Amino acid sequence: MSTASADAVAALRDTLANTVKKVVEFRDEHTVIVNRVDLRALLQHCYDELDFDYLLDISSVDNLGSEPRFEIVYELYSFATKAHLRIKAAVSEDETVDTVSDIWPTADWHEREVYDMMGIKFADHPDLRRILMWEGFPYFPLRKDFPLAGKHSEMPDVAFSDAAPLAGGPFVTSPTSADTVKREPRAKQFSQD
């Protein structure tokens, strides 16, 4: 068991007892579940008081068919105590989440990715725009109602959903028992016989 993580959870329960809804421990990992409205205050406390100085990741989960539909997940790490902590909060489709990019600057890109892929908006984010898809793309590709085959795009040559051809591609290998240099894939125009 990670005693540093367990100590952090105990400190959160002592200090912010009304904020922590539930704690889940599974395989020595600790997850603290909070209400969305309490999320920023708890994350700020983790940074200020518990030395969680590194934001590993922000991700989201689509629980299609449930309300609230989404779950936002923060992965925190403390270099001082070597503790890892996961913070989760449920988010409805029409709700926004407060940005933490002023606490951890790396949250800027994490929040943009969550917005781009899932459609969850972050209040007071300094530059909330798409990071992977192009501006104007009308969908959120990681939502469960987004079809696996993709959706038709009116933008030619920007996105395609046909399978990329493998045969006759730009690189070829030379079938030979020679050394690795001779077998290495090369552009067709430079391949050696």
User: Angle at the Cα of 44 (from 42 to 50), degrees rounded to 5?
Assistant: 85
Q: Residue 176: its pLDDT value, please?
A: 65
Query: 110-153 pLDDT, tens per residue?
Result: 999 999 999 999 999 999 999 998 888 888 999 998 887 766 66
Q: Are residues 131 and 191 in the same domain?
A: no
Q: Are residues 35 and 79 in the same domain?
A: yes
16 within a domain of the structure (yes/no): yes
Q: Are residues 75 and 41 in the same domain?
A: yes
Residue range(s) defining the domain that contains residue 136 = 3-152
Q: Residue 147: its pLDDT value, please?
A: 80
Mean pLDDT of 66-86: 96
In whole angstroms, what is the distance from residue 176 CA to residue 53 CA? Answer: 54
Q: Are residues 124 and 168 in the same domain?
A: no
pTM exceeds cut of 0.75: yes
Least confident segment among 39-43, 75-79, 88-92, 156-160:
156-160
Q: Are residues 147 and 171 in the same domain?
A: no
Q: Provide DSSP, the chain.
A: --HHHHHHHHHHHHHSTTTEEEEEEETTEEEEEE-HHHHHHHHHHHHHHS---EEEEEEEEE-TTSSS-EEEEEEEE-TTT--EEEEEEEE-TT-EEE--TTTSTTHHHHHHHHHHHH--EEET-TT---SSSPTT----TTSTTS-TT----SSTTT---SPPP-TT-SEE----SS-HHHHS-EEGGG---
The single-letter code of the amino acid at 37 is V
Per the model's pLDDT, the better-predicted residue between 2 and 111 turns out to be 111
**What mean pLDDT, rounded, does the chain reach?**
85
Query: 141-152 pLDDT, tens per residue?
Result: 999 988 877 666
Q: Are residues 180 and 99 in the same domain?
A: no
* 120 neighbors 72 (Cβ within 8 angstroms): yes
117 within a domain of the structure (yes/no): yes
Residue 73 reports pLDDT greater than 50: yes
Q: Are residues 15 and 59 in the same domain?
A: yes
Residue 189 reports pLDDT greater than 70: no
158 within a domain of the structure (yes/no): no
